[in-house]
Amino acid sequence: MSTVTYDVEAVRARFSALQRPLAFFDGPGGTQVPDEVIDAVSRYYRESNANVSGPYETSRRTEALVEQARVSAGAFLGCSPDEITFGANMSTLAFALTRAAGRSWREGDEILVTKLDHDANVSPWLELAHDKGLVVRFVEIKDDTTLDLEDLERKLSDRTRVVAFPVASNAVGTRTDVRRIAELAHDAGALAWADAVHYGPHGPIDVADWGVDVLICSPYKFFGPHLGVAFGRADLLETWRPYKVRPAADTPVGRRFETGTLAHELLAGFLAAVEYIDSIGWEAIKAHERTLGERFLNGLRESVTLYGLPTMEGRVATFAFNVEGMSAEDAATRLGDAGYAVWWGDYYAVEVMKRLGLGDDGAVRAGIVHYNTADEVDGLLSEIERL
């Protein structure tokens, strides 16, 4: 078995944002950005800023950047560059692509979503259902926050058009069995539609291996700029009529679903973010996060209620918890004042919070990524104990 050598301090030195007395456990809301990503965005503005299709140098540079961004995104997601669509963010892409997918669906057709989902993979379907008379059904989660695959099987029918699900929960960190969900969806003649926003910084994505038909993610969750990236199976996208202006290009097929001029400077930042991840490697990232996640879980006291899986098996290092005798808002605020950036509330995971019986206050959320340190985890645990 190979040993992964990982120098977290060398990694942190690449982030100006981390050179301050604030421990960032807010990665699930958006990670910090290494300096090379910032430099790439700035360099684009200085050297290449232009729109595409111009017969001059900076326009040609921009066109080359867009093409390279597709190649990089295809490699990152495990698909053809032609199957990539860029957009403002995951939510915007989700609303656009669900509309395109559902154009030909009929009243009474069914959509399955899960109670583990972020609302960006729920509300687009609810709105589509509202407009077209479709039926949205929620797949249950078990008490340990794992997805109930037996309930999924029960709810599938010959009217099911899509099964929408997360790769990992942005609230409690639980992972799903992506391949099995895709198999069940396909056996029923439905699409497998994955939200990989939260999973993005924690491990490699391979849409071909997973067997999904659509997958959407957000680079600002994996050390890049605010942007959305979607994969859609080419033969599937070719059957959808896109919402776009008439002169917009029809090739490659993923480009058909991009509305308006792309944020070229952010594509430059996206390229740098993927290169940054490649320079570290997923093996090192996963091993470091697992070690810190175990350290956090092992250090929680009895006065803390953890929601979700009690070990690092079947999850990423994102933790929802409450401290006895305190509201989530008060606990998160006090942790923030002490120098530990965490979140509180439902984080748009509306159905998860309902299922856990948590009110509007929700829970405190701490998310660990590869630039966090053991000292930061120990400090956070000490502050939680003080609460």
Domain 76-260 CATH (choose: 3.30.750.24, 2.60.40.2130, 3.40.640.10, 2.40.37.10): 3.40.640.10
What residues does each domain of the chain span? 8-25+281-386, 76-260
For residue 347, the one-letter residue type is: Y
| Separation between Cα atoms, residue 220 and residue 28, nearest integer Å | 10
Report whether CATH 3.90.1150.10 matches the domain 8-25+281-386: yes
Alpha-carbon distance of 26 to 341, in angstroms, equals 6
Q: What is the CA radius of gyration of the chain?
A: 21
List the structure tokens of 231. 């994969």
HSE-CB for 219 with a 13 A CA cutoff? 31
Show pLDDT as tens, one digit a residue, over the chain (387 residues). 345 589 999 999 999 999 999 999 999 999 999 999 999 999 999 999 999 999 999 999 999 999 999 999 999 999 999 999 999 999 999 999 999 999 999 999 999 999 999 999 999 999 999 999 999 999 999 999 999 999 999 999 999 999 999 999 999 999 999 999 999 999 999 999 999 999 999 999 999 999 999 999 999 999 999 999 999 999 999 999 998 888 888 889 999 999 989 999 999 999 999 999 999 999 999 999 999 999 999 999 999 999 999 999 999 999 999 999 999 999 999 999 999 999 999 999 999 999 999 988 999 999 999 999 999 999 999 999 999
Q: Considering only CA atoms, which of 184, 182, 228 is closest in space to residue 208?
A: 182
Q: Which run of H or of E encompasses 191?
A: strand 191-195
CA separation for the pair 372, 327 (Å, rounded): 26
Local structure of 340: helix, strand or coil: strand
